[in-house]
A and B are shown apart, each in its own frame.
Chain A
Amino acid sequence: MNRRDLYRFGTTLLGGMLTLGLAVPGVAYLLDPLGKKRGTARVYPLAKLDDLEVGVPRSFPIVDERQDARVKYPKEPIGLVWLVRQPEGSKSQVEAFQAECPHLGCAINLSGDKKSFRCPCHDSAFTFAGKPENKIPPRPMDRLEVEPIGPDQMVSVKFERFRSQSEEKIPLA
């Protein structure tokens, strides 16, 4: 190796060190959100059983404190849940659905005739049992766990979010 090559090699080596010294922390910094954990799913009491009419869906906001990066927000709506009371003798007394569309995450509302669920963004449509009525959504509406209803008649739901666009219902960790 002659002197010229040595300078060449030295420049590449030292320049590489300088670049990596800046690039590695830079990338780690930019990828910071990947390391942040989502809050664990929590159970929220939403309504008294008697407040729900059989077969008529009602939406309920999930109200909780929210940490948005640096700011801690006091209790405010952080999500929506649809509750549908089931007829006597059904397997469960109440079905709960995440209002976030499994397609691309818009909030699912009732259709104009109030006979089905419909997403206002891309027209995903679902029955009140959460079954897709067209081919737009990749899977049924995301059913949420309803706690056993005790003597206080309180309907409590475990609120969590799931990955959009997937055919499987995969909780977001």
Chain B
Amino acid sequence: MLKNLAAWFDTRTGYKHLVHEALEEPIPGGARWRYVFGSALSIAFMIQLVTGILLMTSYSPSSSTAWGSVWYISTQMNLGWFIRGLHHFGSQTMVVVMLLHLLQVVIAGAYRSPREVNWWFGMLLMFVTLGFSLTGYLLPWDQKGFWATKVATKIASGTPLIGPAIEKVVVGGDNYGNQTLTRFYGLHVGVLPGLLVLFLVGHIALFRKHGVTAPPKATGSEPFFPKQVFYDTVAGLAVFGVLAFFTWQHHGAPLDAPADPGSLEYPARPEWYFLSLFQMLKKFPGKYEFVGTQVVPGAIVAVLFLLPLLDKLFPRKFAHFLACMFVFALVGGAGYLTVEALRADANDPSFAASRKVADQAAARALELAGNPNAGIPPSGSSDILNRDPLTRGMAILEQKCLGCHAYTGKTQGKPEDPFKAFDLAHFATPGWIGDLLEDPGAPKFKAHVPTAPGAKTFTEKPLNGMETWKKTYDFDTDAERTQVAEFVASFARIPSDVTAEEWASDPKVKEHPAFENFVSSCLPCHAVADLGQPDKDQKAPGLFAYGSPQWLSKMIRKPGAKGFYGYLKPHEQMPGFEDLTPADLEMIVRLLRDDFVGSEPSSHEKSPSAPH
């Protein structure tokens, strides 16, 4: 039945003849292991093709969706980590096997007449392969791909005359974004595979025309099938085995934090096989940089292209010797520069520090993307960290607040400066208020202000009211103090649409077990709506909705407002930050309220419900 079907098909296509011709091709001198590199490379390409098409079924090329889709493939899909890992390590394997293939061809003298054109096809294939690598690196739209590719296109922009135009066309405009990604994607999955197949067909056709370059003393011949096919299959399986091993060991491919054009210290490095070019760039600083980025690589490429023509200039053997020396020097030089680049990074503490920051951001992004309370927002992957109080809020805190304040002891102020404002960590939680009521003189509550406008001397005086109060007042029991602390902390949950009067007139407020103690201990100084009888001469901030988002927002924007710290002299007041965008203000407020994924279970939530 099968035979009949095969015969029917053969009479209409002639496939048996084609298969026979392919498999029975005689190999002069017989099958050899040294001939496997070309086939191994083709198999590596087939693996890339299959895994690439699989990845395409879930990848989404836009600056807002790419990272999320890669994260989804790597962490949420059946064996997605394995498929992506194979593709990631496959690209590196292709470069390694390509290098071995090139060395074998040069050593065997297979680049020489009459195989010059095939050598040139091989060169073109090499550039296409490197092009795959370069374009694929950007596709996850993570920090690593973004910055490394930016550097690569900036190098292209240094090309005399047409550089800027090249950069603009490749990037798809003036800025990196959606157009860059779709262009790179188009090159990676459309143009480059097309070119690769085209050149590969030419390469193999010419290889069939000229046959293998047998060693000079080889005798006899052997058909391609089965021995050489077996060798090639072993090599193919070895390639796959190496890929699977690395994928298994690294549990897939790495994914850095989503691309952030605003990050300050990302240590961009290309893939390891481009590190030699990266290092060479450093050898030609300043105005001669183009020598390292353009002239030297260009010259190397030109010599490689012209390698088969050396035979025209020198005696055959000497030309071969020169060609081998050139390629060995090239590999050795590239290896030296690569090791130098790696060692430079390994011995550079600032690189390690930047890398640590980048790794922390990556870990945080991955944690948030997979967290049911966070996830990837529709606005895009970059908002995972931009809308994370612990990342974005902390960045603004460091920039705007930690010059004076501290956060869990961390401050940007100089050690010799007196500590100017209290520690913001866990602000207005029951624990924080409890500590304040127990020991207002503790270092974390210390605050100093300049003695006069522009003065370099500082005083605690206008802000040490709690310490003064503590000298004359204490709660009868710890339980009472805790109760008052929890009562005050519950103000942070008063909704923004409840006015002070509405809140104060709620009978539940006055029924609260801590109310009497609160009135007698806090209200002599603090004001809360019209409760209690604070001194007319206000000397403490109001406590209505203390620690709530609305209170914090106003405190940050207008600390000198009535009911806040308006009772202080202008030079004693905290500066207002009215220039913060609403989104940034929200991030900082949420950070101060411990409202972020991974914070300790909020003490606000544990305290008895605020009456409102």
Contacts and interface: CB of A to CB of B under 8 A. Distances in A.
Nearest to B69: A70
B250 to A, nearest CB: 16
B240 A11 contact: no
B47 A71 contact: no
A73 to B, nearest CB: 5
Residue of A28, A29, A73 with most partner-chain B CB within 10 A: A29
A29 B78 contact: yes
B230 A72 contact: no
Interface size class of chain B, counting residues whose CB lies under 8 Å from the partner chain: 35 or more
Contacts of B54: 26, 29-30
B322 to A, nearest CB: 39
B137 interface: no
B570 interface: no
A70 B57 contact: no
A88 interface: no
Nearest to A36: B76
A32 interface: yes
15 contacts: A4-B226, A10-B233, A10-B234, A11-B233, A18-B236, A21-B244, A26-B54, A31-B78, A67-B375, A69-B69, A69-B72, A70-B69, A71-B376, A71-B378, A72-B377
A22 B50 contact: yes
A14 B77 contact: no
Contacts of B374: 72
A37 to B, nearest CB: 13
Contacts of A8: 226, 230
Interface of B: 43, 47, 50-51, 54, 57-58, 65, 68-69, 71-72, 76-80, 82-83, 86, 226-227, 229-230, 233-234, 236-237, 240, 244, 369, 374-378
Nearest to B55: A29
A25 interface: yes
A35 interface: yes
A10 B236 CA distance: 13
A11 B50 contact: no
Interface in A11-55: 11, 14-15, 17-18, 21-22, 25-26, 28-32, 35
A70 B240 contact: no
Across chains A and B, which 7 residue pairs bring their CB atoms closest together, nearest first? A72-B375, A7-B226, A70-B72, A7-B230, A70-B68, A32-B78, A25-B79
B55 to A, nearest CB: 9
Nearest to A72: B375
A30 B51 CA distance: 11
A28 B79 contact: yes
Contacts of A10: 230, 233-234
Contacts of B43: 18
B395 to A, nearest CB: 23
B377 A71 contact: yes
A106 to B, nearest CB: 25
A32 B244 CA distance: 20
Contact of B227 (A7, A22, A28, A69): A7
Nearest to A3: B227
Given A29-B77, A30-B57, A71-B68, A11 B229 contact: yes
A15 B78 contact: no
Given A4-B227, A18-B237, A72-B377, 5 more contacts: A18-B233, A18-B236, A28-B79, A29-B77, A69-B58
A24 to B, nearest CB: 9
Contacts of B80: 29, 32
Nearest to A21: B240
A157 B376 CA distance: 29
A35 B80 CA distance: 13
